[in-house]
Structures are given as C-alpha cells and as structure tokens.
C-alpha cells in the first residue's frame, strides 16, 4: 500500500508539473502575440494616434489573476481596435460550472488568452476578430479562431481570407479547414435575424488530443492573423468612401453588437467569471445604428 501510495504521489507531481509548464508556455505566448499584434497595428496607423494601455485585476481582495488591454481609437485607419490579454483563475460558480468541461468533481479553473477586435474607419475594410485561448479545469484545451465581417460583397478579400486559412489548416491537418470553417459559419450566426454575422473564417474549441500539435496550430494561426489583417487593410485602405457607405457600416455594426451581447462565448465566460467589464466589452464598436 505504501509503495502504491508513493507511486501515485509521484504521478500526481509529474502531472502537476506538466500542467504548470503548459500554462506558462501558453500564457507567455499570448503575451508575446499581444505585443506583436499591437506593434503591427501601430505601424499601420502611424505614430500620431497611440494605444492606451489598461491593466486590470479579477479581484481586489485576493489573487485571481487579471490582464491588460490596449485600445486605439479615432485613428485614420482604425475607428477602434482593442487587443486584450488575460490570465484568470479561481473557482467557477455552481451554476456556470455545469457549462464547462472537466468540472464535475471541482470548480477550479485557469484560463488565458488573447483577443482582438478591429472596427475600421473605411467602410470598405471589414471588421476583423481573432481569439485564441487555453483553459484548464481537470484537463486543458485550446479554442479560438478568426472571422471577418465586411459591409459589402468583396470577392477579393473573401478569396484571400479563405486561401490563407486553408493553407494554415492544411499544414496541421487536411481535415481542419472544412471542419472549422463549418463550425465558424454555425457559430457566428444571428439566429434571431436568420443571417450570418459576416463571411466567416474558422472556429474551433475543446482541442485537447495532442497538446504540442494543438499549441503549434494556435501559434501558427496567431502569426498568420497578423499577415492576414495587414494584407486586407493594405488592399482597401485607399478606396474612397462616402457618408451613405459609412451609414451602412454603422448598421452592420449593430448586428455585430447583437451577436457579441447575445451569443458570444467569450463575452459570457468573461462576465460570468468576474472578468474586467471594460476589457470584455472592448469588442463593441464606438458607434453603431439600428433602423
């Protein structure tokens, strides 16, 4: 019995050490990715308008993690762009834990990720969203994706987006693109409007079969997101626009708001785990309209 007990203790120590290493690696990657994304956005926007940085804590009374977000507003290219990093931990509420895998026997959780939302000045440049995250309860898993929401039909942007995403997915698994594109189309859908939020992209969740392979895919997607938004902005930033087109953009942003407040998992998870409200709602556009 003593031998079995010692062996179990060793196994638990190895598992805990492995868990901590995975958390540190993913957290550090998300921090680095946030910096790379912000640097690229700042280069596109120029030096006149700069990011404002805000650090936040999940709890004032005890250590439950936190994060920081960067906001850039009223630029010549960006109406508003937010880049948020978070690392939070603690206990889930009894009600919310039922919705999260791996919480049958306990309510402990740890989560880290980076999320980006871009609302553009020029209506011909689509709104763009990106998110990757790693969550740990009794086990860990990755989730995330990216999607694009144009105001007008743009076959060039659509072709560029899906060509790039397919290439990324195929490097890791030939089945990923079809599966994650379909998941994205189903996820970013406003059922009360019976319409998609945008042209889609890819979306995935609960990736936990092969940590090294999954982490490689998440890193690859992050690097390529930078290339994708840079290319799309370069393609359309010089295209002329008028007030009528801007008003169409405001109406499209209204749909964006509806999705984020009614359906978005990240918004719900952040609010129900005591996250920073300003960081969570940074995805909302500065101005939107409804008829």
Phi, psi of 289 (to 5 degrees): -135, 155
Residue 47: partners with Cβ closer than 8 Å, 6 or more residues away = none
Question: Do 158 and 149 contact (CB within 8 A), yes or no?
Answer: no
DSSP 283: G
Q: How far is CA 7 from the centre of its chain?
A: 40
Cα end-to-end distance, the chain, whole Å:
72
Dist CA 274 CA 270 (whole Å): 6
Q: How far is CA 173 from the centre of its chain?
A: 21
Rounded Cα gap, residues 32 and 129, in angstroms: 18
Q: How far apart are CA 55 and CA 58, in angstroms?
A: 10
The long-range contacts involving 98-107, CB below 8 angstroms and separated by at least 24 positions, are: 100/135, 100/137, 101/137, 101/139, 101/141, 101/206, 102/137, 102/138, 102/139, 103/137, 103/138, 104/138, 105/138, 106/137, 106/138
Q: Tell me the catalytic residues.
A: 129
Quick one: which H or E segment has residue 221?
helix 211-236
């Amino acid at each position: 019995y003593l031998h079995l007990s010692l062996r179990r203790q060793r196994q638990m120590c190895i598992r805990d050490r492995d868990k901590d290493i995975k958390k540190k690696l993913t957290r550090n990657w998300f921090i680095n990715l946030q910096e790379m994304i912000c640097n690229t956005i700042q280069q596109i926007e120029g030096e006149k308008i700069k990011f404002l940085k805000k650090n936040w804590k999940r709890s004032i009374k005890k250590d439950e993690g936190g994060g920081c977000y960067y906001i850039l507003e009223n630029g010549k290219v960006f109406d508003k762009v937010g880049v948020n990093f978070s690392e939070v931990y603690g206990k889930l509420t009894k009600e919310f834990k039922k919705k999260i895998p791996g919480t049958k026997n306990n309510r402990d959780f740890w989560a880290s990720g980076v999320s980006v939302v871009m609302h553009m000045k020029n209506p011909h440049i689509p709104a763009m969203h990106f998110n990757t995250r790693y969550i740990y309860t009794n086990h860990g898993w990755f989730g995330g994706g990216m999607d694009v929401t144009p105001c007008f039909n743009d076959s060039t942007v659509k072709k560029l987006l899906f060509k790039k995403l397919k290439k990324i997915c195929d490097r890791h698994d030939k089945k990923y693109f079809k599966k994650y594109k379909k998941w994205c189309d189903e996820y970013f859908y406003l059922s009360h409007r019976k319409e998609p939020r945008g042209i889609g992209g890819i979306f995935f969740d609960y990736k936990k079969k092969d940590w090294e392979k999954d982490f490689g895919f998440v890193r690859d997607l992050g690097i390529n997101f930078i290339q994708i938004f840079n290319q799309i902005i370069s393609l359309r930033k010089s295209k002329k626009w008028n007030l009528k087109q801007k008003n169409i953009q405001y109406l499209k942003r209204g749909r964006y708001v509806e999705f984020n407040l009614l359906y978005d998992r990240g918004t719900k998870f952040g609010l129900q785990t005591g996250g920073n409200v300003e960081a969570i709602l940074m995805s909302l556009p500065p101005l939107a309209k409804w008829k």
